[in-house]
Structure 1
Amino acid sequence: MTTKLYLVHQWRTILATHLSFIGCLLPSYILAQNASDGSVSMEPVVVTATRTETSVSEMTRSVTVITHEEIQQQSGLSRNLGEVLAKTVPGLGPGTEALSTFGQTLRGRDYLVLIDGIPQSTALRSSSRDLNTIDVDAIERIEVVRGGTAAYGFGAAGGLVHIITKNPSKKLLDGHSKAGMRFSTQHFDDSIRWETTHRVSGTRDNVDYLLSGTYGQSGGFFDSGGHRIAPDPIGVQGGLADTNNYNILGKLGYNFDNNRQRVQVTVDHFNIKQDTKYTFGLGDPAKGIRTPAVRGRTNVFDPGTENTIVGLDYINRDFFGSRVALKGYYGDLTARFAKFPGFAQTEVQTEKFGSRLTIDTPLKIKNYDFSLVWGVDYLRDKAVQKGLDGPTVVPYMKQDAFAGFMELELPLSTIGLVRGGFRHEDITVDVSDIVNRGGSFVESGKLNYGKTLFNGSAVFYLTDFLDLFGSFNQSFSVADIGRAIRDANASITSASQLESEAQKVDSYEVGLRANKGPVQASVAGFYSSSNNGTTFNRDLSIVKQPERIWGVEGALSYRINKQWNTGGTVSWAEGEVDLDDNGSFEEDLPSTRISPVKLSGFLEYSPKTWWHNRVQVLYVGDRSSNSTQFGGADVNDYTIVDLTTRVAVGPGHLTVAVNNLLNENYFTLVSQASVSPFGFAKGPGRIVGINYAFNW
């Protein structure tokens, strides 16, 4: 590296570090901004990820809310939801630049993804497609609970990502249209991507409605040197190059009984398919040689994801004094993988039916007012990983899960708030006969689990602008039984022998948050431990071992004035695993579980009310782990700088966004950590996106 290039690299690293280091001391939780005039809105932000509507100021957990404005801003740079969240949520690992989220953990663990309360995660056989089951233009906001939680149950070891879809307009008729394109500056040909979204919604009397549709086509992806990136950059987990995608969202709601009661139907269908003339060759990670894209078609069927969800909601705001919310839902998800040479092409098929009942009951003893939140959940989840051109080696599985929960909310006068309760889960999983990948016959069986999970949390108002919060939470997951059966050796003769593979996680956190004038800030430290953490051997066989994880995270937003706004986030974690289950933690957890330090910073400038600019930096640090497991290779740091500018033009806004402005040459975190010759891919070089949006 020349002296000049070295100095440029050092400058970028120092810039990223300094912009983000502020966030280590006083990180933020919410700053709502009016993009049209640069003013700050201090209206209370309400979070629903805890099952009841709670203002952020009363939260006893670490929660990040990604607003509609932030989603639209980040989607100008990338429509991959994993990338959007990686640049805005502390504690979430860097994105994979792929359809799969394998290796992108939250506080070092898997997380539960919900769309309007409907689970997207496939616990029986993980497909790692959870964040890419809906288009960004169908999303109103995203709520991320950082740290294990049993609020929605059946998973959420690392936390919860709750995606909330668009809401109907309060007007009689409101329309929105957007169209845009993107291209690589290193290779304009074959890189063009375009997308368009159209939406109509409105309210008439007691009825509201919404219909939204998005369609897009994507060309190839190219690295900073103009080399085509393999269409499946992390093996056969799923890629975004050479794809066609569409999303259709519909809502119909009806308020009655003087708006005391409401029913709503939601339907969303997402489809992305990859039709490519390229496949992956073999790289050489030891020599730093990337996995090349080579011409050829190996897939029998086009890989991709198809997801349909249907939700029926009923709300009664005053049922004998209680607020009642009842949700019934259906989900049908198919995640199809590319074909790996020598193996059958497969797809994970899951079908879910479920319901959730949440009752918020205000109580009073003498002059003391408090509340009880309670209810019941049910989930039937059916899953299989089918062989499309060969044998099926993951069995048919059916899960029936019931849970009841109770939580007390106890105000402490003006000094704070305490919450605490429990959740009991009863889960039964029926597994069919199968001859697995190793040729072993695994007999059908029934797995039974009964777990009681406890949680307790509190917030204390130290001053008018400074809060102290802390929590203890437990979570439980059946933890990819399908993969465990697929990889089982001859000693496993019955599915019932894998009953002990489930995982319970104990999570602790303590933090501070501040809200004073133009500053919105918080910082939190966390620790979690589990008896059956999930990692993989070098041969990609699943391993269950005791583990512990700890770290610090936070973010900062500081509104300097109406024209200037700045801030950043910081995330740092470490983790260890007990290989022999003897109480001695011998190795680090690999970097596909524990992300290196992640820093982000941003600076916004609005010289005019009709012109808004933002530059942002994402820095992913070095990590050298003492690990013999898959994903344990060394990771070298990289820095991504993005730029967006938004200008009012005619009836709408024109946005120009540049992803990887400095054309950084880097390998993604998951590629570096995995060092797989078929998945050692570089990240995309500079990409320019242009879109125009207007309301009508």
Structure 2
Amino acid sequence: MPEMFHQNNKWRVLRNINFLFVGCALPGSVLAQNISDESVGLEPVVVTATRTETPISELTRSVTVISEQEIQQQASLDRNLGDVLAKTVPGLGPSTEAISTFGQTLRGRDYLVLIDGIPQSTPLRSTSRDLNTIDVDAIERIEVIRGGTAAYGFGAAGGLINIITKKPSKEPLAGYSQAGVRLSTEHLDDSVGWETTQRISGTRQNIDYLVSGTFAQRGGFFDADGDRIPPDPIGVQGGLADTDSYNILGKLGFNFDDDRQRLQVTVDHFNIEQDTDFTFGLGDPERGIKTPAVPGSFNVADPGTENTLVSMDYINRDLAGSHVDIKAYYGDLTARFAKFPGFAQTEIQSEKYGTRLTIDTPLNLRDYYFGVIWGIDYLQDETVQAGIDGPTIVPNMQQEAIAGFLELELPLSDIGLLRGGFRHEQISVDIDDIVNRGGTFIQGGTLDYGKTLFNASAVFYLTDYLEVFGSFSQSFSVADIGRAIRDANPSITSAGQLESEAQEVDNYEIGLRGGKGPLQASVAGFYSESDNGTTFDRDLNIVKQPERIWGVEGALAYRFNPQWNTGGTVSWAEGEVDLDDDGDFEEDLPSTRISPVKLTGFVEYSPQPWWDNRLQVLYIGDRSPDSTQFGGGDVETYTIVDLTSRFAVGPGYLSVAVENLLNEDYFTLISQASQTPYGFAKAPGRTVAVSYALSW
């Protein structure tokens, strides 16, 4: 990289190092550490969800970075990743308190989940389990791009959640051990669960390694009244109660050519299985009667999720002046659902192969230094929803996709930075013949999609403490083709009739962020629109209609002194749908798409260097959408208060965490919005967790 270009980047990082919020919710403890260390020089925060390592001062989008420390802090309350992110990421809907993320959208739309750059989403037939394909103890940090993006393509209408796994220690040998137990205070019997993580890693000369294993056993879940919650609280989408799970992560890296080149192999295997003696009865949403847990099971096989990921990364930091990153990966995901009475039990099987090539090339044109990021992505995905004890009514589908992209990064001296480019995707889906759920024969065929997506964004440094950013981006995704075929009415006789149902979304955003000393703040407004948005009618059939969504997000943090720190976030959005495509948006989007107002807040207090405490609040407002679609039920307000406390004891730390400290008695958002008698379940009551961890 030319020296001048490198120095310009470094200057911008140091100049804007105060902007640690990035329009997001960084953990208070991390914020405190960064502020206190500023006088001695601060390691710049870097994110990779933009395809290349980008200093935080050069981001032109709203991005949330969840650090390892905050992940561990939130996981001490609840190991469900959907819950961890709901309490830390503005714009992400409340947790479903289940293994499924159906109804937990990002800025009102579905999002693409990656683990080390490997897609977890299954667009051909959605599993809605994207956030539960890895254990929290295998995660180093999480980067969330809020708002549609084509950076990685093949989806990401609402944004991108990039999960980055643990990195090896720089010491020759380093170990980590943790063990804990958790239970419901409202029903001690049958609620006890336990977990443990063991990890070793290290670096010896030019080789680094990591091996990590986690096992967790969950007991039954009980609400604030002490009543057992159905193991599948939102129908048959997947629950967390009475589950055993384990995660094995292994890494081996090799640096050579004076560290200019690197080769790394990563293997991760996650498995969660539910073995329960209970199922759901029928409640009455209109009368406020919750869905009960009743003895028995309809399942032929235990429901759960199994996910295996293998990847190989090659990095060359100076190949003819460019930084080159090549990833080859394989993914094998099986998501097994519980059996619904009267229907076959099914599982979605998705097998992926893919490669990603990213090249970062610095250029000089008459002493003007700028960057070009370009490359090619390839993905092959074979997906089927197979019947376990009945016929397979969703066809086998094979997707082959290739995309090329190019983006320019144009520094504007010391006043800002511009980014802009395009991505062209070419997708082909081969579909087998099938007889669907309604008994209609659907002739298979090949669906072809092609789309060029554009993006442009900028950040301008208004003062030494304040900057403004804005962006336009497009995203593109194929429909849930498998579900559309499964539920197709008799007028649909061939897969070719669904070729026009891909969704393109235009996203707009403008925001302001900054900070000075102990104060950090940000605010962003967004708007997105699509001519072919995806919702569901009352009978849960896919409907494709024009829609638009808009909203505001903000974050604020203030450190009073080394002992006290506080902050919070706000998220508000609304959306409308055009039912008959006449240009008149007649109805609100349902609450399974648009979350009510979400507020988070925290206070941290450290009376001693060896003792940390955090009290946090999650508030979900009410919403009464004018909607005739599925998920259009009224949502009533609920507030959750959590408390965590960590003590230095012996060589490690003892943690005590209380989720739902005040034992709030409430129905989850998805239960209230859906209003189904088999999925109108309450959320867990007060839960206490105690754990001990040490590094060695």
TM-score class, shorter: over 0.9
Partner Cα distance (1:318, 1:28) in 2: 33
Partner Cα distance (1:543, 1:649) in 2: 56
Structure 1 residue 460, shift from structure 2 partner: 0.1
Q: Which amino acid aligns with 1:254?
A: F
Structure 1 residues 201-216: aligned runs within 5 Å: 201-216=201-216
Query: Is 1:670–2:670 an aligned residue pair?
Result: yes
Size of the aligned set, in residue pairs, is 672
Partner Cα distance (1:354, 1:37) in 2: 39
Partner Cα distance (1:531, 1:321) in 2: 43
The equivalent residue for 1:562 is 562
The equivalent residue for 1:540 is 540
The equivalent residue for 2:312 is 312
- Secondary structure of the 1:500 match is coil
- Secondary structure of the 2:497 match is helix
Partner Cα distance (1:81, 1:161) in 2: 11
Conservation of the 8 A alpha-carbon contact between 1:32 and 1:40: no
Structure 1 residue 40, shift from structure 2 partner: 3.8
Aligned Cα root-mean-square deviation (Å): 1.3
The equivalent residue for 2:109 is 109
The equivalent residue for 1:484 is 484
The equivalent residue for 1:409 is 409
- Secondary structure of the 2:396 match is strand
The equivalent residue for 1:13 is none
Q: Which amino acid aligns with 2:450?
A: G
- Secondary structure of the 1:163 match is strand
Cα pair distance change 1:337/1:31, threshold 3 Å? closer
Partner Cα distance (1:627, 1:337) in 2: 28
Partner Cα distance (1:595, 1:34) in 2: 28
Partner Cα distance (1:483, 1:578) in 2: 22
Partner Cα distance (1:40, 1:302) in 2: 50
Partner Cα distance (1:284, 1:266) in 2: 48
Query: Is 1:518–2:526 an aligned residue pair?
Result: no
Conservation of the 8 A alpha-carbon contact between 2:362 and 2:372: yes
Conservation of the 8 A alpha-carbon contact between 1:31 and 1:520: no
- Secondary structure of the 2:672 match is helix
Q: Which amino acid aligns with 1:578?
A: D
Q: Which deviations, in whole Å up to 9, do the C-alpha atoms of 1:488-546 show, x marking residues without a partner?
A: 01111110110011100000000001021112221100000011111111111111111
The equivalent residue for 1:467 is 467
The equivalent residue for 2:14 is none
Q: Which deviations, in whole Å up to 9, do the C-alpha atoms of 1:639-670 show, x marking residues without a partner?
A: 00000000000000000000000000000000
Conservation of the 8 A alpha-carbon contact between 1:508 and 1:528: yes
- Secondary structure of the 1:405 match is strand
Structure 1 residue 56, shift from structure 2 partner: 1.1
Structure 1 residues 604-619: aligned runs within 5 Å: 604-619=604-619
Structure 1 residue 465, shift from structure 2 partner: 1.0
Structure 1 residues 221-620: aligned runs within 5 Å: 221-620=221-620
Conservation of the 8 A alpha-carbon contact between 2:415 and 2:462: yes
Q: Which deviations, in whole Å up to 9, do the C-alpha atoms of 1:301-351 show, x marking residues without a partner?
A: 000000000010000000000000000000000000000000000000000
Structure 1 residue 28, shift from structure 2 partner: 4.8
The equivalent residue for 2:17 is none
The equivalent residue for 1:53 is 53
Q: Which amino acid aligns with 2:564?
A: W
The equivalent residue for 1:4 is none
The equivalent residue for 1:7 is none
The equivalent residue for 1:687 is 687
Q: Which deviations, in whole Å up to 9, do the C-alpha atoms of 1:348-396 show, x marking residues without a partner?
A: 0000000000000000011110000000000001100000000111100
Q: Which deviations, in whole Å up to 9, do the C-alpha atoms of 1:170-203 show, x marking residues without a partner?
A: 0000000000010000001100010000000000
Partner Cα distance (1:603, 1:44) in 2: 25
Partner Cα distance (2:316, 2:224) in 1: 55
Partner Cα distance (2:521, 2:68) in 1: 20
- Secondary structure of the 1:455 match is strand
Structure 1 residue 592, shift from structure 2 partner: 0.2
Partner Cα distance (1:40, 1:51) in 2: 30
Conservation of the 8 A alpha-carbon contact between 1:33 and 1:39: no
The equivalent residue for 2:15 is none
Conservation of the 8 A alpha-carbon contact between 2:641 and 2:660: yes
Structure 1 residue 53, shift from structure 2 partner: 0.4
Conservation of the 8 A alpha-carbon contact between 1:116 and 1:164: yes
Q: Which deviations, in whole Å up to 9, do the C-alpha atoms of 1:417-456 show, x marking residues without a partner?
A: 0000000000000000000011110001110011000000
Conservation of the 8 A alpha-carbon contact between 1:28 and 1:513: no
- Secondary structure of the 1:82 match is helix
Q: Which amino acid aligns with 1:66?
A: I
Partner Cα distance (1:519, 1:374) in 2: 37
The equivalent residue for 1:178 is 178
Partner Cα distance (2:25, 2:468) in 1: 14
Structure 1 residue 613, shift from structure 2 partner: 0.1
Partner Cα distance (2:347, 2:161) in 1: 24
The equivalent residue for 1:70 is 70
Structure 1 residue 559, shift from structure 2 partner: 1.5
Conservation of the 8 A alpha-carbon contact between 1:620 and 1:639: yes
Partner Cα distance (1:27, 1:461) in 2: 15
Partner Cα distance (2:164, 2:408) in 1: 26
Partner Cα distance (2:30, 2:527) in 1: 36
Cα pair distance change 1:31/1:58, threshold 3 Å? farther
Conservation of the 8 A alpha-carbon contact between 2:105 and 2:593: yes
TM-score by length of 2: 0.95
Higher relative contact order (CA 8 A, sep 6+): 1
Conservation of the 8 A alpha-carbon contact between 1:91 and 1:553: yes
| Structure 2 residues not aligned, in runs of 5+ | 1-20
Structure 1 residue 556, shift from structure 2 partner: 1.4
The equivalent residue for 2:651 is 651
Conservation of the 8 A alpha-carbon contact between 1:30 and 1:520: no
Q: Which amino acid aligns with 2:503?
A: Q
The equivalent residue for 2:145 is 145
| Structure 1 residues not aligned, in runs of 5+ | 1-24
- Secondary structure of the 1:395 match is coil
Partner Cα distance (1:562, 1:551) in 2: 35
Identity, in percent, stands at 75
Structure 1 residue 220, shift from structure 2 partner: 0.2
Conservation of the 8 A alpha-carbon contact between 1:187 and 1:222: yes
The equivalent residue for 1:195 is 195
Partner Cα distance (2:555, 2:305) in 1: 33
- Secondary structure of the 2:97 match is coil
- Secondary structure of the 1:394 match is coil
Structure 1 residue 38, shift from structure 2 partner: 9.5
- Secondary structure of the 1:106 match is coil
Q: Which deviations, in whole Å up to 9, do the C-alpha atoms of 1:192-246 show, x marking residues without a partner?
A: 0100000000000000000000001111000000000000000000000000000
Cα pair distance change 1:547/1:607, threshold 3 Å? same
